[in-house]
A and B are shown apart, each in its own frame.
Chain A
Amino acid sequence: MNFIWDNIFRRAADQTIQSVLRENLLFRDLTDSELRFLERCVHVRHYHAGESVFRQGEVGVGMYLVVKGRIEIYVLDPTATSDESREIYITQLLSNDFFGELSLVEENGRRSATAVAREETTLIGFFKPDLMEILARRPAMGTRVTLRLAEVLGRRLKETTDKVSELRRVLKDLRAPPSQDAT
Chain B
Amino acid sequence: MINPRAAFIIRRERRWRLASFIAILALSFILILAIKGMLASCVLAFVIAYLFAPVVDFLERRGLPRGTATMIPFMVGAIGVGVGLAIVLPLVMDQLRVLAQRLPQYQADLSALLASIETNYRIYLNAGQLNLTHELNLWIATKTSTISVALPAFVSQSFTVLLLAPFFAFFMLQDGNAIARSLLSFVPNHMFEITLNLRHQINDQLGGFIRARFFEAAIVGAVVWIGLQVLGFPYATVLALFAAATNLIPYIGPIIGAVPAVLIALVSQETSVDTSPTVTLLFVTSVYFVAQLIDILFVIPLVVAKIVDLHPVTVVVMIIAGAEVAGILGMMISVPVASACKLTFNALYSHLTSFRD
Contacts and interface: CB of A to CB of B under 8 A. Distances in A.
SS class of chain A's interface: helix, strand, loop or mixed? mixed
Contact of A57 (B177, B189, B354): B354
Contact of A62 (B189, B190, B193, B357): B193
Contacts of A57: 354-355, 357
Contacts of B355: 55, 57-58
A51 B189 contact: yes
Q: Pick from B7, B192, B355 the residue with the most CB of A within 10 Å.
A: B192
A43 interface: yes
Interface in B187-202: 189-190, 192-194, 196-197, 199-200
A50 B6 contact: yes
A137 interface: yes
Interface residues of A, number: 35
B194 A59 contact: yes
A43 B200 contact: no
Nearest to A108: B350
B354 A47 contact: no
B57 A50 contact: no
A1 interface: yes
Interface stretch (A125-133, A150-158, A167-175): A125-133
Contact of A125 (B177, B192, B351, B354): B192
Contact of B10 (A50, A125, A127): A50
B61 A59 contact: no
A84 B6 CA distance: 18
A3 B197 contact: no
B16 interface: yes
A18 interface: no
Scoring A50, A51, A55 by chain B CB atoms within 10 A of each residue's CB, the highest score goes to A51
A105 B221 CA distance: 42
Interface in A28-44: 40-41, 43
Nearest to B60: A137
A14 B88 CA distance: 53
A96 interface: no
Interface stretch (B25-33, B127-135, B178-186): B178-186
Contacts of B199: 129
Main secondary structure of the interface of B (DSSP, over half): helix
Nearest to B199: A129
A49 B354 contact: no
B63 to A, nearest CB: 10
B189 A47 contact: yes
Nearest to B16: A1
A163 interface: no
B3 interface: yes
A47 B184 CA distance: 16
B324 interface: no
A59 B186 contact: no
A99 interface: no
B14 to A, nearest CB: 9
Given A3-B17, A61-B196, A48 B185 contact: no
Nearest to B2: A50
22 contacts: A3-B13, A3-B185, A3-B186, A40-B177, A47-B189, A48-B9, A48-B10, A50-B2, A51-B189, A54-B193, A57-B354, A57-B355, A57-B357, A59-B351, A61-B196, A84-B1, A110-B354, A125-B192, A127-B193, A129-B200, A132-B200, A133-B177
Given A47-B189, A51-B189, A58-B193, 16 more contacts: A1-B13, A3-B185, A40-B181, A43-B196, A48-B9, A48-B13, A57-B354, A57-B355, A58-B355, A61-B197, A62-B193, A127-B197, A128-B200, A129-B196, A129-B199, A137-B61
Interface of A: 1, 3-4, 6, 40-41, 43, 45, 47-55, 57-62, 84, 110, 125, 127-129, 132-133, 136-139
